[in-house]
Amino acid sequence: MISSLSGTLRSRLFIACLLALLMACTRGHHVSFLAHLPSASTAVFFLGGVLLGQVRYFIAFFFFALSLDVGHFLYSGSGAECLTPSYVSMIPAYGALWWGGHLWTRYLANGIAPAVTLVIMAVLAAIPSTLLSGGGYYWFSGYFDAPTLSVFAERWQRSYQRALSSMLSWVVPAALVYFLAEKLAEVAAPRLLRR
């Protein structure tokens, strides 16, 4: 099912555009009428790994996220606290999400309960992602005097819960859509073959 969703270049570009639009509309609440939606950035990187897979798309999405952050800073003057040397830690953090999505597609998409394993893989991929992004910011942003491992562990626990909640608010509906599309394809396939 996943390969049929993202098999052609045209469908991949369409999926990439949808994911980019979702990121642009929810990242940092830059769009005022969407201010109450959770950020979809982490979900976009995970779902990008699921649906697009290729490294070139990952690179494009990373630079798109960076351009949104820089653009927001240049336009509003806020958000500079995120644009520190620690921003480079977002490459492996987003990479962990992308890789988790890609692993799911490669090994679990055609297995038992794919919608459930999709959510489980998202939860697992969020662990290294939040460790890398939060750790990079805590240790290398320059905003924390004398950082300690115990304080980082407390900060990480809170940030993991927030990040996971935000990501799952997008991944769970995506898993449900996937499940429904899979079931519709199962029902429609025999009818199409009879024609």
Q: How many domains is the chain partitioned into structurally? A: 1
The domain containing residue 143 runs over which residues? Answer: 2-194
From the CB of residue 127, how many other CB atoms can be counted at a distance below 10 Å? 15
The answer to whether residues 38 and 169 touch, using CB atoms and an 8 Å cutoff, is yes
Q: What is the mean pLDDT of each run of 10 residues along the chain (195 residues)?
A: 63 92 80 69 95 94 91 70 82 96 89 86 95 88 86 90 92 87 78 61
In this prediction, residue 29 carries a pLDDT of: 54
Kindly give, in sequence order, each residue whose CB lies less than 8 Å from that of residue 149, ignoring residues fewer than 6 positions away.
Answer: none
Kindly give, in sequence order, each residue whose CB lies less than 8 Å from that of residue 65, ignoring residues fewer than 6 positions away.
Answer: 23, 27, 41, 90, 94
Conformational region of residue 54, where left means phi above 0, alpha means psi within -120 to 50, and beta covers everything else? beta
Alpha-carbon Rg for the chain, nearest whole angstrom, is 18
Q: How far apart are CA 156 and CA 164, in angstroms?
A: 12
Q: How far apart are CA 88 and CA 86, in angstroms?
A: 5
